[in-house]
Structure 1
Amino acid sequence: MGAAAPRVFVSHLAGVAVFDPNGDPVGRVRDLVAMLGLSGRPPRILGLVVEVVSRRRIFLPMTRVTGVESGQVITTGVVNMRRFEQRPTETLVLGELLDRRVTLVESGEEATVLDVAVAQLPARRDWEIDKVFVRRGKAPALRGRWPGGGRRSGEALTVEWSAVTGFSLEEQGQGAENLLATFEQLRPADLANVLHHLSAKRRAEVAAALDDDRLADVLEELPDDDQVEILGKLQEERAADVLEAMDPDDAADLLSELPEEDKERLLALMRPREAADVRRLLSYEERTAGGLMTTEPIVLLPDATVADALARVRNRDLSPALAAQVYVCRAPDETPTGKYLGIVHFQRLLRDPPFTLVSSLVDSDLRPLPPDTALPEVTSYLAAYNMVAAPVVDAGGSLLGAVTVDDVLDHLLPDDWRERELHGAVVPDLPEVADGR
């Protein structure tokens, strides 16, 4: 590492791209692996946890890192693609050190770790943690210094590693604010990957720190076992709030994994309207159109205009599949609706004037699906008509919901596909490569 950049704070490394000597991308940094010593010496950084294109997490020894500069990491040599497995003597810097409560040796005060800095030792490729950025006191994190710059509770300061103790102690109730700040821009699927690879203790702490909407989005991307584990560690009222924030079909899938008593207790805590949608989905067989559908498609009344439709389509919370078309129905316009009239595709909305009534643009040639339509028939329907979503209508002609292609794919893939995806594609074990661990 050059003299102009003697150290790097680890929060600045989260998500940084890793390149080989030819400039080809290897992956992105997701964590650093350290070995905490008992002698009080600064911990040695063993390597980086790098997420490669297949979403597999691999270990990159620090001896292979030739540069950390301009927001990128340069590596050399052969990269071992074996999946990273944390050893008992190893500590994940981002996942386990940030937000820890430690003690300042000089004053005996408690402090919270906001960040740590790593530095390369002179004339070597070895790296170590040499600085710790902490905030004094037990109070919630405060911004900036106290007036006058006094050394009071809430002050943030950078100290030597040897100036703090407590990293090796088991801690209950560790916060997650600073860890989450390093991954703030991640998509839900990528943040789910981060959670999946944390310990069960840290996973619960991070989940507790996420707001309901963000946690709901992340839960939808996790394997069933992780979903059940996280939900089970939330207070029941909070668990019900998170279920309400999830898409109804995903909430129904999660609740179906729980014992009947737990499922009913959580449904009773949910708002009646959201609970009714989920109960309706739970009443259908899992691998049918009714069991796959979402109950929240875009529904418009016949007198709505193209401008009204486009305003609804612009909702950033909608998935691309749900935003691809709107469903025109007679009142009421919440599922189950009044009589289903047909769909209007997004492209058609772009071709007509804003004042045009959607009822004049309805495509009524496509037959809707009954709720008991089996999964293979749903798949064939989407493929035959090049659709990304299909209406589900009951025998009385009311729209119940819509099946989207992503819901169909979830059930066509192997049951453990999320687990496989979070670990990356299966590749043969490679010959053991010395990694310095």
Structure 2
Amino acid sequence: MVAGAPRIFVSHLSGVPVFDPNGDQVGRVRDLVAMLRVGRRPPRLLGLVVELSTRRRIFLPMTRVTGIESGQVITTGVLNVRRFEQRPTERLVFGELLDRRVRLVETGEEVTVLDVAVQQLPARREWEIDRVFVRKGRSGAFRRTKGETLTVEWSAVTGFSLEEDGQGAESLLATFEQLRAADLANVMHHLSPKRRGEVALALDDDRLADVLEELPEDDQIEILSKLKEERAADVLEAMDPDDAADLLGELPEEDVERLLTLMRPDEAADVRRLMAYEERTAGGLMTTEPIVLRPDATVADALARVRNADLSPALAAQVYVCRPPDETPTGKYLGTAHFQRLLRDPPYTLVSSILDDDLQPLAPDAALPVVAGFFATYDMVAAPVVDESGSLLGAVTVDDVLDHMLPEDWRETEFHLDDGPGADGSEAPHGP
């Protein structure tokens, strides 16, 4: 091996920025690509899966890596920005090797892989996986039993080449713990269906709900179908009602009714109400959980509600003032108090005195182009939806408008990118 070459555990590479020779960041490490070899020879590390700012994933060969140090990867040469596609002989280190159950050659004892280490070889900047960090004892579906941990040579374990049912996901998730829901959804979308299901099982209900909201419809349906019905109902409850309604709208009618019956009655009622509207209307786009205050509430009350960390920025941008009842559908809608106005007035000010009541709310049957035009005309990030009787039904947020205006497969593609040299197919994207 290279004299003094450091051994690097791959968990330390998750999300590490990748820089070109000029010092400009080109993306972040999302996985590593390895090729298993016959016998007990350590796998060869072929390269890194790098996610560009456009969310496109490309392959960076290890021969183009000049350094891995101080939490960064330095590359040399021109990157091939063709989309990464895994070959049959390749294994994704994060996606497929972590959390595997293998056996110690010497004792035959079963252990779980928590991490692996890579090190550079002397020849041609080649790298290989030479160490495995394992824990003795079996892993449970959601929690790992305690056991002794140890680091062993790759040749000291066996079982990496076998197909495994019920593979855990705790170590994989630990490497992506700090990812936003949208980024974790992107990670899961690129996993195999088997691993995607295992990761979904390991996530808690709230985290899985957030991730499902960011996944393409096919992935949503696939994951929901692998959950037990009781848990599927719990996850639907944790989703925003409008997203839950959209997902249920893609399922067979008998499955929808069964899941709604398992949900809490109040949560199911909101979803049923949303499913009654056409999908591409204000009623179909809205959430039934905006911030609703009575006229005698103060600015201090409003700011306390806005501070709720579970609210999206769009929903926290304004509060809706209505006569009781306070939950949608409410009593008479009186107007909207915008966040910026709340910051300008004393805490004791009544919200009813600072209302924007000149802006006409949206009708529930307003078509998507009308809704989009409203947002564009008035520079809004959220808008109230009010019925003929003057009751607030919910609020439409700009993210839901964009979701329905973009192409159906927008989550599976990236923003426009100049593919640059090599993207026309003239050079093989990766491999030995």
Q: Which runs of 5+ in 1 are unaligned?
A: 144-152
- How much does 1:58 deviate? 0.6
TM-score, normalised via structure 1 length = 0.95
C-alpha separation in 2, matches of 1:393 and 1:248: 17
Equivalent residues in 2 for 1:289-368, closer than 5 Å: 289-368=282-361
SS, match of residue 191 in structure 1? helix
TM-score, normalised via structure 2 length = 0.96
Contact 2:18 2:72 in 1 (8 A): yes
Greater shift in the superposed pair: 170-179 or 46-55: 46-55
Contact 1:80 1:433 in 2 (8 A): no
Question: Match of 2:182?
Answer: 189
C-alpha separation in 2, matches of 1:293 and 1:142: 40
| Residues 356-411 of structure 1: per-residue CA shift (max 9 Å, x gap) | 11111111111111111111111111111111111101111110000111111111
C-alpha separation in 1, matches of 2:362 and 2:173: 42
C-alpha separation in 2, matches of 1:252 and 1:340: 24
Question: Match of 2:193?
Answer: 200
Question: Match of 2:97?
Answer: 97
SS, match of residue 373 in structure 2? helix
Greater shift in the superposed pair: 368-377 or 248-257: 368-377
Letter in 2 for 1:396: S
SS, match of residue 45 in structure 2? strand
C-alpha separation in 1, matches of 2:335 and 2:412: 38
- How much does 1:424 deviate? 7.6
Contact 2:94 2:172 in 1 (8 A): yes
Aligned match of 1:380 in 367, 373, 386? 373
Runs of 4+ off more than 4 Å: 1-5, 139-143, 423-428
- How much does 1:429 deviate? 2.7
C-alpha separation in 2, matches of 1:291 and 1:378: 11
Aligned match of 2:273 in 273, 277, 280? 280
C-alpha separation in 1, matches of 2:404 and 2:417: 19
- How much does 1:139 deviate? 5.3
Residues 241 and 434 (structure 1), Cα distance of their counterparts in 2 relative to 1, 3 Å cut = closer
- How much does 1:22 deviate? 1.2
Question: Match of 1:70?
Answer: 70
C-alpha separation in 1, matches of 2:333 and 2:6: 66
Question: Match of 1:88?
Answer: 88
SS, match of residue 111 in structure 1? strand
Aligned match of 2:247 in 238, 244, 254? 254
Contact 1:55 1:424 in 2 (8 A): no
SS, match of residue 85 in structure 2? coil
Contact 1:139 1:154 in 2 (8 A): no
Q: Give me the CA root mean square deviation.
A: 1.6
C-alpha separation in 1, matches of 2:431 and 2:92: 16
Question: Match of 2:398?
Answer: 405
Letter in 1 for 2:201: A
Contact 2:5 2:120 in 1 (8 A): no
- How much does 1:97 deviate? 0.4
| Residues 404-423 of structure 1: per-residue CA shift (max 9 Å, x gap) | 111111111111111213x9
Q: Which runs of 5+ in 2 are unaligned?
A: none
C-alpha separation in 2, matches of 1:277 and 1:96: 39
Letter in 2 for 1:429: D
1:243 matched to 2:236? The reply is yes
Letter in 2 for 1:25: Q
- How much does 1:77 deviate? 1.3
Contact 2:2 2:122 in 1 (8 A): no
Contact 2:84 2:429 in 1 (8 A): no
C-alpha separation in 2, matches of 1:139 and 1:291: 42
Contact 2:67 2:75 in 1 (8 A): yes
Contact 2:139 2:168 in 1 (8 A): no
SS, match of residue 413 in structure 2? helix
Residues 378 and 179 (structure 1), Cα distance of their counterparts in 2 relative to 1, 3 Å cut = same
C-alpha separation in 2, matches of 1:3 and 1:339: 76
Question: Match of 1:9?
Answer: 9
Give the number of aligned pairs: 427
Letter in 1 for 2:292: V
Of all paired residues, the percent bearing the same amino acid is 80
C-alpha separation in 2, matches of 1:50 and 1:434: 13
- How much does 1:38 deviate? 2.2
